[in-house]
Structure 1
Amino acid sequence: MNALAATSRNFKQAAKLLGLDSKLEKSLLIPFREIKVECTIPKDDGTLASYVGFRVQHDNARGPMKGGIRYHHEVDPDEVNALAQLMTWKTAVANIPYGGAKGGIGCSPGELSISELERLTRVFTQKIHDLIGIHTDVPAPDMGTNSQTMAWILDEYSKFHGYSPAVVTGKPVDLGGSLGRDAATGRGVLFATEALLAEHGKGIAGQRFVIQGFGNVGSWAAQLISEAGGKIVAISDVTGAVKNVNGLDIAQLVKHSAENKGIKGFSGGDAIDPNSLLTEDCDVLLPAALGGVINKDNANDIKAKYIIEAANHPTDPEADEILSKKGVLILPDILANSGGVTVSYFEWVQNIQGFMWDEEKVNAELRTYMTRAFGDVKAMCRSHNCDLRMGAFTLGVNRVARATVLRGWEA
């Protein structure tokens, strides 16, 4: 099942639990706007290359649309639509005043030079600048993009609209970015995991973790979990996977990864097949890479008691059913990885106020938002007698539906 079909299925289940009017349900599912643009740039060798860029603006009932821009060769309309819809529910679960959007360009960023990436980003911004904005749609980094990408978007957008730091989040701190933003998604994963484990009388310390993905989210989650006393027994990235039943030295692994552009060859553990990582023995599994990695083919072999979805849509609905029968508790992505968009909201607020918060305030506010969101999801679970995924979806969908009706939607 592809990402869009799976996301829409979860939405429809939530709508049924909430008893939504069928016309309202259909209205909430259809994106506000879909944008597709051609981005032609000169390559460094003088040849021309064309790339297709997308921006799907899903919903703005609760505020400006919000979501990342990813550069990846597999970017396609269905994926962008699914991720935009997930952002709508995610911002509602976090209870921040945003809607949902997502964007991307079908390219392989590792094969492009810095100057080519800059030209591509600027051309994409030229094509969409009149459809994004501080109170309209606020992009952010995602897979294959970073704070430098956001700086280019800010600069290009500002040529048309005047200096507008709040038009993107995830910027460099020197251009109005927020302290604590780099670690925000990983730190949010830590706070969400703490909240889930506390429900079962446990803490981070002493739990065995397996993490798939060692990019921004996975590496920060690993560092923070390790600092909190968690034992990380296996990690993978695109270069390979490493295991140490006594716990990996995360500080050394971060250093090795930075020096060698990946974790392959790390001497502090045994190399294992990355394809077996998800089924390694552990207490808590954190998929922090691509979507759809937990499916009906491997769900039966997963040994973790808890799954924290640090990635977007890592678990297929078929796998959900298998894991539920096994008693595995899954903290869904629209709650577990909402730390990034929450601190993006803090960054946007700081830009509008023209006042920078210190990092302690950012982290304290993030803990408050993540803990409150977990409590709100649990309340919906009790009200609708459902699991955590449906608790999160009913919470998010209900908030968006209420805002839609209050703003004057007519059946």
Structure 2
Amino acid sequence: MTALPNTDQASARLAGLSYLNPAAPEPWASFVEQIERVRPHLGALERWIETLKHPKRTLIVDVPIERDDGTIAHYEGYRVQHNLSRGPGKGGIRFHPAVTLNEVMALAGWMTVKNAAVGLPFGGAKGGIRVDPSSVSKGELQRITRRFTSEIGIIIGPDRDIPAPDVGTNEMTMAVMMDTFSMNRGGTATGVVTGKPIALGGSLGRKEATGRGVFIAAREAGRHLKLPIEGARVVVQGFGNVGGIGARLFHEAGAKVIAVADHTATLVNEAGIDIPAALAHVAATGGLAGFGGAASIDIEDFWQLACDFLVPAALEGQITEARANGIRAKVVVEGANGPTTPAADDILRERGILVVPDVLANAGGVTVSYFEWVQDFSSFFWTEDEINARLERIMVSAFDAIWQVAADKRISLRTAAFVIACHRVLEARAERGLYP
């Protein structure tokens, strides 16, 4: 992770970055290495592989606002469109004190692969602002969001690039972004973002979609390995919209969630944590710290807990070589984007630990974002049962296709997902040709 400017060090500490891994490699380097591993499987499309190592468009913007005390503050923001060969850009907006251009580039690249791997008609994009949302007031945060939206408004739009929530943002962030874009355009454009409130054209099932997709991916991996969810021991890093919902679904399916971690605490209970109670505690206090249903442990001990499913659902670069050597899980299901470095990936594979990659495991969110986008264009909305059924079909179909390619080529699930995605993206690039 790139070192933060001195002015952001205090904010980084406030965000609880100590529970993460400060020695993580640059995310973009990890993404490029993952792309290189696909080269031998591309055939004639190999001539286009450099396309995937060069983002199509990178926008860096200054985001100045007047703070509540009358002073002027400046924040740096980004929007990266990695590849648009298969459709408009799609990817979240991250508000976090450790956001860097390098990180956003990698996240955009992973979105290109993710969208193609599950067959969505989108390219990959990502955005972010280097800001700690907890360090600014509600009014300041809204002003930051509106100014940022105005600055990137020149490249986003319902048929150009569609942002969504990510770390540090939520449905209200999307509401403000939609309103700002619409006011600047002079007409309501509900489809410019996804993950919106239901009242503004949001989709039922969207809030739980990423966590639900992680659960489906884990369940399908367990099905292939004859490792049932019921009675399984589960460890979850990250207890927000992805990890928290995923943990709840594991709990409801009869699994025993023995450890959870967020930016405030790392907790374990070998008898199983009461997940509904933990979620209620987080909703009331903002974090796991102080929850009485589990004991506190060191974060490095957390990674070495014996379990069936390990779900890293925080930020990228969490499973490094050192941690990979100590992991005692049967299956790693990546709820976060890029949580495992390429070197750690190799170690886990050598040790016989199956990794369900992020570009498959956490694709539930963007899949239901696609449903939301389609519903906004048609002004016709589906029920939550219909949403969940469609999500189930897409996730299971994608999982089976990736599993088959991995078995046929004797490669990892991650490389198999990249093989499928890169073929789709580069075939579209080749068919479109170069202009001019």
TM > 0.5: yes
| 1:321-376 deviation digits (Å, cap 9, x = unpaired) | 11111100000000000000000000001000101111000101000010001011
Report what 1:40 is aligned to. Answer: 64
Distance (whole Å) between structure 2 residues aligned to residue 363 and residue 388 of structure 1: 24
The structural deviation recorded for 1:160 is 2.2
Report what 2:38 is aligned to. Answer: 14
Indicate if the aligned counterparts of 2:39 and 2:49 stay in contact, CA closer than 8 A: yes
Report what 1:121 is aligned to. Answer: 145
Distance (whole Å) between structure 1 residues aligned to residue 153 and residue 411 of structure 2: 42
Distance (whole Å) between structure 2 residues aligned to residue 91 and residue 80 of structure 1: 16
Indicate if the aligned counterparts of 1:92 and 1:399 stay in contact, CA closer than 8 A: yes
Distance (whole Å) between structure 1 residues aligned to residue 39 and residue 106 of structure 2: 17
Report what 1:146 is aligned to. Answer: 170
Distance (whole Å) between structure 2 residues aligned to residue 284 and residue 225 of structure 1: 10
Distance (whole Å) between structure 1 residues aligned to residue 272 and residue 369 of structure 2: 32
Report what 1:357 is aligned to. Answer: 382
Paired positions, count = 411
Q: How does 1:75-224 map to 2 (within 5 A)?
A: 75-161=99-185, 162-224=187-249
SS in 2 for 1:103: strand
The structural deviation recorded for 1:214 is 0.4
Distance (whole Å) between structure 2 residues aligned to residue 342 and residue 219 of structure 1: 19
Distance (whole Å) between structure 1 residues aligned to residue 246 and residue 266 of structure 2: 17
Distance (whole Å) between structure 2 residues aligned to residue 163 and residue 130 of structure 1: 16
Report what 1:285 is aligned to. Answer: 310
Indicate if the aligned counterparts of 1:17 and 1:384 stay in contact, CA closer than 8 A: no
Indicate if the aligned counterparts of 2:45 and 2:426 stay in contact, CA closer than 8 A: no
Given candidates 48, 64, 69, the residue that maps to 2:93 is 69
For residue 170 of structure 2, what is the amino acid of its counterpart?
N
Q: Does 1:295 align with 2:320?
A: yes
The structural deviation recorded for 1:21 is 4.6
What are structure 1's unaligned runs of at least 5 residues? none
Indicate if the aligned counterparts of 1:92 and 1:397 stay in contact, CA closer than 8 A: yes
Indicate if the aligned counterparts of 2:45 and 2:427 stay in contact, CA closer than 8 A: no
| 1:385-405 deviation digits (Å, cap 9, x = unpaired) | 211110111111111011111
Distance (whole Å) between structure 2 residues aligned to residue 134 and residue 347 of structure 1: 11
For residue 139 of structure 1, what is the amino acid of its counterpart?
P
The structural deviation recorded for 1:30 is 1.1
| 1:204-242 deviation digits (Å, cap 9, x = unpaired) | 101100000101101000111110111100001111111
Report what 1:262 is aligned to. Answer: 287
For residue 10 of structure 1, what is the amino acid of its counterpart?
Q
Report what 2:269 is aligned to. Answer: 244
Aligned alpha-carbon RMSD (Å): 1.3
Given candidates 274, 282, 285, the residue that maps to 2:299 is 274
For residue 74 of structure 1, what is the amino acid of its counterpart?
A
Q: Does 1:29 align with 2:53?
A: yes
Q: Mean Cα displacement is larger for which, 253-262 or 170-179?
A: 253-262
Residues 231 and 20 of structure 1, relative CA distance in 2, 3 Å threshold: farther
Report what 1:308 is aligned to. Answer: 333
Indicate if the aligned counterparts of 2:304 and 2:326 stay in contact, CA closer than 8 A: yes
Distance (whole Å) between structure 2 residues aligned to residue 275 and residue 256 of structure 1: 24
Report what 1:53 is aligned to. Answer: 77
Report what 2:361 is aligned to. Answer: 336
The structural deviation recorded for 1:19 is 2.9
Q: Does 1:233 align with 2:258?
A: yes
Distance (whole Å) between structure 1 residues aligned to residue 72 and residue 160 of structure 2: 32
Indicate if the aligned counterparts of 1:212 and 1:278 stay in contact, CA closer than 8 A: no
For residue 133 of structure 1, what is the amino acid of its counterpart?
G
User: TM-score by structure 1 length?
Assistant: 0.98
Q: Tell me the percent identity.
A: 45
SS in 2 for 1:307: strand
SS in 1 for 2:93: strand
| 1:181-226 deviation digits (Å, cap 9, x = unpaired) | 1100000011111111100122210110000010110100011111
User: TM-score by structure 2 length?
Assistant: 0.92
Indicate if the aligned counterparts of 1:209 and 1:234 stay in contact, CA closer than 8 A: yes
| 1:83-136 deviation digits (Å, cap 9, x = unpaired) | 000000000011010000000011111101110011011111111112101110
| 1:141-192 deviation digits (Å, cap 9, x = unpaired) | 1111111110011001001221000000000111000001110000001111
